[in-house]
């Protein structure tokens, strides 16, 4: 069963009985997306949580000037989507688009709510996941203040080597808040130093 990486992931965070895990799996569906397809589009209400079984996904938003800003990348064993839209059941600000053909485990929003009531450990799972996501988000804010451009890029490469290898450079620039030209110059400076 190809939800195995999903159940493995869950087991690393909380301990569930076999029955509980079965209930979760029974509410989870697997879905394939082609490269370029959207898991979520800005303006739609996000009605699912999505766990990446395989593939690479970018979450981005478009500002008033039409510029794309990448908020997050997701690969295997990460979540993707717009939590704000999911929580408030309001139109999403973000898009989630596949950069590769991808396979995603999906639990519909309503099922998630039911599972929260039915399986307290399921709610714990999401409490912990969200705590980790929040801590990472705070760290990103700090680094945006206190690191130089070069440090930010090197940090990114060491922290997310798998992403660095899979996504084009101009998207990394967008994630870091740089122009593609500027990232290119940062890179050439790093190369010159070696």
**16 secondary structure, DSSP code:** -
Smallest gap from residue 13 Cβ to its own copies (A)? 12
Burial bucket for residue 66 (CB in 10 Å: 0-12, 13-18, 19+): exposed
Q: Which is nearer to its own copies, 11 or 144 (CB)?
A: 144
CA 175 distance to own-chain centroid:
12
Question: What is the distance between the terminal CA atoms of the chain, rounded to a whole angstrom?
Answer: 47
With CB under 5 to 8 Å by kind, the binding choice for 181 among DNA, its own copies, none is DNA
d(CA 38, CA 130): 23
DSSP state of 76: T
By 3-state DSSP, what share of the chain in percent is helix, strand and coil, each rounded to 5?
50, 20, 25
Residue 123 binds its own copies (CB under 8 A): yes
Looking at 71, 103, 149, 154, which residue binds its own copies (CB under 8 A)? Answer: 71
From 31, 69, 110, 150, residue interacting with its own copies (rule: CB under 8 A): 69
Per CB under 7 A, residues contacting DNA are 148-149, 168-170, 177-185, 187-188
Site string for its own copies, 153-182 (x = CB under 8 A): ------------------------x-----
Is there binding between residue 144 and its own copies (CB under 8 A)? Answer: yes
Q: Residue 122 CB, nearest distance to its own copies (Å)? A: 10
**43 or 177: whose CB is closer to its own copies?**
177
Q: Which does 71 bind (CB under 5 to 8 A by kind): its own copies, DNA, none?
A: its own copies
Q: How many CA atoms lie within 13 A of 153 on its CB side?
A: 22
Q: Is 29 helix (H, G, I), strand (E, B) or coil?
A: strand
């Amino acid at each position: 069963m190809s939800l195995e990486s999903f159940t493995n992931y869950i087991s690393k965070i909380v301990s569930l009985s076999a029955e509980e895990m079965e209930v979760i799996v029974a509410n989870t569906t697997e879905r394939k997306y082609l490269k370029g397809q959207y898991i979520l589009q800005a303006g739609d209400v996000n009605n699912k949580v999505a766990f990446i079984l395989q593939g690479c996904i970018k979450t981005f938003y478009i500002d008033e000037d039409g510029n794309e800003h990448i908020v997050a990348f997701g690969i295997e064993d990460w979540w993707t989507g717009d939590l704000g839209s999911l929580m408030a059941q309001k139109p999403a600000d973000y898009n989630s688009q596949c950069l590769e053909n991808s396979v995603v485990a999906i639990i519909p929003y309503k099922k998630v709510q039911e599972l929260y009531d039915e399986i307290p450990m399921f709610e714990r799972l999401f409490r912990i996941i969200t705590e980790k996501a929040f801590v990472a988000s705070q760290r990103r804010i700090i680094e945006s203040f206190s690191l130089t451009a070069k440090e930010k890029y090197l940090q990114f490469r060491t922290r997310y080597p798998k992403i660095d290898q899979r996504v084009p450079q101009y998207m990394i620039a967008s994630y870091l808040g740089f122009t593609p030209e500027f990232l290119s110059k940062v890179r050439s400076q790093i190369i010159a130093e070696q």
